[in-house]
Chains A and B, each alone.
Chain A
């Protein structure tokens, strides 16, 4: 089998295990949809002071940001750690499958789930809340999403080395990422977050990915919608994650 066919083979089984696992479907697919419905319900349709969009428009790209990070960073950090502790990574390492193919299948699975979430939340936003889908800025939307998904996949794989056991996977992953959703203006509109807090959140990649994605989705954006400055910072985080993962990734169970 060619390398591409082998990646496709691995990807197909990763898709099967993903969609058949109730926990992964709930946390990755249902959670963002639920958050969109709740935020829209609670915060209404008011215009946000200092921003040129209403809450409906604000929350669609915000929840897509959350969904993409969830499908990549959280999903990989948890599922890869659990498979490592179950001995499945070690077992796979004992077959002729090249290790990079295994990783590529997993990352590919995460990126495809992120794409599905983009479509799902985008269509829901359009139908339920009348938020325009930015068809003319689609290249910027897709490039931003792909770069973000790749970066947060690398960071998720890098985090696995810091998770010592199966039971520590969910707490460590959520502790690493959930505060950033609140601090970066993803869950709470940035006009409601103190500017010092927003400034602090700029030290982390969630804020930059959100800004790039928000700009691409925002109906008021003129031009192609690429935020190259933010994208460069996101890419730098991804590269750092990749280098850390390459040095620290473990295939054997760490607790026994």
Chain B
């Protein structure tokens, strides 16, 4: 669907994108992560055909987006980071206007249901909440029934329930067989939606793979967490666990979780204490992201 090799983009002396390689396969949700100013939007806008590139090869749906044709635009849906529809039109009218631009649009009523705006179909755009306007943006990108959808930070500024709702909409799109290129700086978003993800820092990809692979790829191994039991000080803990105690919490990263857990539970049974809030897990994508982006900062 998308294939990028050696992509570069400079603005004067500033190199925003420095040699990017990426493949996005048909039918997947691809998460494109990175801090602000990492080159995310520049890259997406090159893929969407809005920006020219300084060097490298880019193919999107079999075509160089710098030479986008009308037929190519029929197959691509775009949700920009910021765009406002005419506040004077209703949701239905706004979608009908965009539907008229495409040869074979998806029925407007279907699109309204897909983005969960049935109750707001005849409401003027100007009277929608921020989250509803953003869902309308997604609807406007879907009305042409595209194969490939670009979503640039689709939930920035949402409250948690609006974000959950938007995620449902996006995962429904996966069920329709759409390929989605999702730009975000919310790790949770990528973790719950993306089949594969890439992390970009300072214009280069620093990690790539499924969210699980990315989590495992970090060198930190398994993480064991619990609260320090009442009446117990850090010095009373088994030797392997002492260094992880701070502020009443114990967090230990280990390459050998079975042995450490055995030591901890044995110690707790012997002393007759609980290990309150005990959790065993992998570092989240967020931890990996923070680790990778801070390494790149240094």
Contacts and interface: CB of A to CB of B under 8 A. Distances in A.
B101 A87 contact: no
B83 A91 contact: yes
A253 B83 CA distance: 10
Nearest to A79: B86
A215 B71 CA distance: 50
Contacts of B49: 94
Contact of A9 (B82, B89, B100): B100
Contacts of A252: 50
B98 interface: yes
Nearest to B82: A87
A87 B93 contact: no
Nearest to B77: A94
B101 A16 contact: no
Interface in B36-81: 48-50, 70-71, 73-74, 76, 78, 80
Given A20-B88, A86-B83, A86-B84, A91 B97 contact: no
Best-buried of B49, B84, B103 by chain A (most CB within 10 Å): B84
A43 interface: no
Interface residues of B, number: 26
Contact of B48 (A16, A94, A98, A256): A94
Contacts of B93: 13, 16
A95 B88 contact: no
Nearest to B70: A96
A54 to B, nearest CB: 41
B85 A95 contact: no
Q: Is the interface of B mostly helix, strand, loop or mixed?
A: loop
Contacts of B76: 94
Given A9-B100, A13-B97, A252-B50, A95 B144 contact: yes
A128 interface: no
A250 interface: no
Contacts of A220: none
Contacts of A124: none
A88 B86 contact: yes
A86 B98 CA distance: 16
A6 B101 CA distance: 7
* Chain A interface size, under 10 / 10 to 19 / 20 to 34 / 35 or more: 20 to 34
B140 interface: yes
B100 A94 contact: no
Most buried by B among A10, A13, A83: A13
Interface string B95-114: 00110111100000000000
B167 to A, nearest CB: 23
B69 to A, nearest CB: 9
Contacts of B80: 87, 90-91, 94
A96 B73 contact: yes
A175 to B, nearest CB: 26
B83 A13 contact: no
B102 A88 contact: no
Interface string A9-29: 110010011001100000000
A113 to B, nearest CB: 15
Nearest to B71: A96
A9 B101 CA distance: 9
Instruction: Give the one of A13, A90, A95, A252 with max B CB within 10 A.
Output: A95
B82 to A, nearest CB: 5
Contacts of A21: 88
Interface in A49-103: 83, 86-88, 90-91, 93-98
A1 interface: yes
Contacts of A98: 70
Interface in B110-144: 140, 144
Contacts of B50: 90, 93-94, 252
Which 10 residue pairs of A and B lie closest in terms of their CB atoms, listed nearest first? Answer: A87-B83, A20-B88, A86-B84, A96-B73, A97-B101, A94-B78, A9-B100, A91-B83, A13-B97, A95-B101
10 contacts: A1-B103, A6-B100, A9-B97, A87-B83, A94-B48, A94-B78, A95-B73, A96-B74, A96-B101, A252-B50
